[in-house]
């Protein structure tokens, strides 16, 4: 199966943001964690334990390039927590991956799994590389060496990787094969997000976008909005953004704007999402040159007069200035960490209902859990069964987060953190500390 990069496999490649211009994502996580910990009156020792990673792995990944040179890349795997079960989290390839970013993403995975009541802990991996400049053979060698270096970390009962930014089903197949060769047995459950032919789950590719759709509809219900009367703008047209947009469109919403790395596209009468997905697939995953929309900037998209905004691109997009200018009634965070901590109180004061990332994009890890269960059983479910179970779990998680937020008079984000931290802390209390 040849390596392909298209809108269905992975998020659209992003250009690196200069390090000095970026928020520290781990600090962003800790700031939200602190608020929830104070509400819970969390034991100080538990605070110290849960606010930092359990293990951090940094590995050099040597790769023989096609021209005969050897190049060494830096790889990371962070295990934030495994109190509830084996750790779980994706692997991303990007030139601007940092250890702080991976630490934050691993922590968010811990809270995400707890919010949707999935028995996993949180982990994340990354390799500092430019996948856009690498050949399929180079990417395969990179993936196999990274996997081999982490053989003592990965495992179906220890730590289970999955696709993330700029990685896809094919890369997960290489992870599966490399691990299985070293283990001397086929271990399908060591990785999720792999091809269906190798034990992947039906519905996994669409799961994160479907979860975004489900919680967005739940938020509309709470505000008394009808999907047929709602307009939506989606930042990002990779796997999450494109599928989320398509599914919301199928529910009757009017998608007036989307964007990808090439820019924003706006049509007040509504965009044809299926047509745009076909266009992107035919143009190497890019919407550049799409003829049936007006070009707009990314900031214009984020501040359009729409009912729903879905940031599904990258971190730190909704800043203080964007929060002040946003006109959306609902923000459903398809991306990880798209809103800075400083923007949170502004959005709350404006009455914007923000469905946080650790809830809104948890559909992916939920179906990853389904995939892991199916692999362990050797029995695979129909697409309808996967989708019904996903919708039920996401709707139930939204309702529980909403009720927790109401109970403590806080935002949905802090409500989600309170619920997640309480679950992990309670498990830690029952297990005790081994000494």
Phi-psi region of 155 (alpha: psi -120 to 50; beta: other; left: phi over 0): left
pLDDT at 211 over 70: yes
Is 169 within a domain? yes
The domain spanning residue 258 has which CATH number? 3.40.50.720
- Residue 354 φ/ψ, nearest 5 degrees: -100, 115
pLDDT digits (tens, 9 = 90+) for 330-361: 999 999 999 999 999 999 999 999 999 999 99
Asked if residue 303 is part of any domain, the answer here is yes
Residue 49 has pLDDT above 90, yes or no: yes
- 303 and 217 share a domain? yes
* Predicted local distance difference test score (pLDDT) of residue 83: 96
**67 and 182 together in one domain:** yes
124 is catalytic: yes
Q: Which of 164, 198, 232 is at the close of a domain?
A: 198
Residue 114 lies in a domain: yes
In angstroms, the CA 113 to CA 108 distance is 9
> In this structure, are 145 and 229 located in the same domain?
no
Q: Which of 118, 332, 109, 326 is nearest to 218 (CA)?
A: 332
**In this structure, are 192 and 293 located in the same domain?**
no
Q: Are residues 191 and 229 in the same domain?
A: no
For residue 285, the enclosing domain spans 207-360
Which of 360, 389, 414 is at the close of a domain?
360
Number of compact structural domains in the chain: 2
Query: In the numeric block, which tokens belong to residue 26?
Result: 């781990």
Within this chain, do residues 182 and 247 fall inside the same structural domain, yes or no? no
Q: Is 76 within a domain?
A: yes
Domain shared by 314 and 270, yes or no: yes
- Could you tell me where the DSSP H helices lie in 332-411? 344-350, 357-360, 363-377, 383-408
Which tens digits make up the pLDDT trace of 375-394?
Answer: 999 999 999 999 999 999 99
For residue 206, report the phi and psi dihedrals to the nearest 5 degrees: -95, -5
**Final residue in a domain of this structure, among 303, 325, 360:** 360
pLDDT tens digits along 56-71: 999 999 999 999 999 9
Between CA 103 and CA 374 the distance in angstroms is 29
Same domain, 159 and 305: no
Token pair of 209, please? Answer: 């976008």
Is 84 in contact with 423 (CB distance < 8 Å)? Answer: yes
The answer on pLDDT for 19 being more than 60 is no
Q: Are residues 218 and 85 in the same domain?
A: no
The active-site residue, picked from 88, 103, 112, 124, is 124
* 242 plus 187 within the same structural domain: no
Tell whether 404 is covered by a domain.
no
Hey, what long-range contacts does 284-287 have (CB within 8 A, 24 or more apart)? 284/5, 284/6, 285/5, 285/6, 285/7, 285/12, 285/13, 285/238, 285/260, 286/12, 286/260, 286/261, 286/262, 287/237, 287/258, 287/259, 287/260, 287/262, 287/263
For position 434, what pLDDT does the model report? 83
CA distance 214 to 152: 37
Question: What is the CATH classification number for the domain harbouring 156?
Answer: 3.40.50.10860
Residue 331 lies in a domain: yes
Q: Residue 338's pLDDT is what? A: 94
Same domain, 30 and 163: yes
Q: Is 129 a member of any domain? A: yes
Each residue's pLDDT tens digit, 74-100 = 999 999 999 999 999 999 999 999 999
- How do residues 132-176 score in pLDDT, each as one tens digit? 999 999 999 999 999 999 999 999 999 999 999 899 999 999 999
The predicted pLDDT at position 23 comes to: 63
Distance CA 301, CA 314 (A): 14
Kindly report, residue by residue over 393-422, the tens digit of the pLDDT: 999 999 999 999 999 999 999 999 999 999
Q: What is the CA radius of gyration of the chain?
A: 20
- pTM value is 0.91
Q: Is residue 341 part of a domain?
A: yes
Q: Is the domain of 250 the same as that of 134?
A: no
């Amino acid at each position: 199966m040849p390596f392909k990069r298209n809108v269905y496999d992975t998020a659209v490649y992003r250009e690196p943001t200069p390090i000095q211009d970026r928020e520290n994502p781990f600090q962003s996580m800790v700031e939200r964690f602190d608020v929830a910990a104070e509400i819970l009156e969390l034991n100080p020792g538990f605070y110290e334990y849960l606010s930092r990673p359990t293990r951090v792995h940094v590995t050099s990944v040597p790769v023989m390039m096609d021209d005969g040179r050897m190049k060494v890349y830096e790889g990371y795997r962070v295990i934030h927590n495994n109190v509830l079960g084996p750790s779980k989290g994706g692997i991303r390839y990007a030139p601007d991956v940092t250890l702080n970013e991976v630490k934050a993403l691993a922590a968010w995975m811990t809270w995400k799994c707890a919010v949707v009541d999935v028995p996993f802990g949180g982990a994340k991996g990354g390799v500092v590389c430019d996948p856009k400049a690498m050949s399929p053979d180079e990417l395969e060698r990179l993936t196999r060496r990274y996997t081999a270096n982490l053989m003592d970390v990965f495992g179906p009962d220890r730590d289970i990787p999955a696709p993330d930014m700029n990685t896809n089903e094919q890369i997960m197949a290489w992870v599966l094969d490399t691990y299985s060769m070293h283990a001397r047995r086929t271990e399908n459950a060591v990785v999720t997000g792999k091809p269906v032919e190798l034990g992947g789950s039906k519905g996994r590719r669409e799961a994160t976008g479907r979860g975004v759709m489900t919680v967005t509809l739940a938020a509309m219900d709470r505000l008394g909005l009808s999907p047929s009367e709602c307009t939506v703008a989606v930042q990002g047209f990779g796997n999450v953004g494109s599928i989320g947009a398509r599914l919301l469109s199928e529910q009757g919403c009017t998608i007036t704007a989307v964007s990808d790395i090439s820019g924003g596209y706006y049509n007040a009468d509504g965009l044809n999402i299926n047509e745009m997905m076909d266009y992107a697939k035919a143009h190497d995953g890019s919407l550049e040159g799409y003829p049936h929309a007006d070009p707009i900037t990314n900031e214009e998209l984020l501040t359009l007069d729409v009912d729903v905004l879905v940031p599904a691109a990258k971190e730190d997009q909704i800043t203080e200035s964007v929060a002040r200018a946003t006109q959306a009634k609902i923000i459903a965070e398809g991306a990880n960490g798209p809103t800075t901590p400083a923007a949170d109180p502004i959005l709350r004061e404006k009455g914007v209902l923000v469905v946080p990332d650790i809830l809104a994009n948890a559909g992916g890890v939920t179906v990853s859990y389904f995939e892991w269960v199916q692999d362990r059983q050797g029995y695979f479910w129909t697409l309808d069964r996967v989708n019904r179970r996903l919708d039920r779990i996401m709707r139930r998680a939204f309702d529980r987060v909403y009720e927790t937020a109401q109970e403590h008079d806080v935002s949905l984000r802090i409500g989600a953190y309170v619920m997640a931290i309480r679950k992990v802390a309670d498990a830690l209390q029952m297990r005790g500390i081994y000494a």
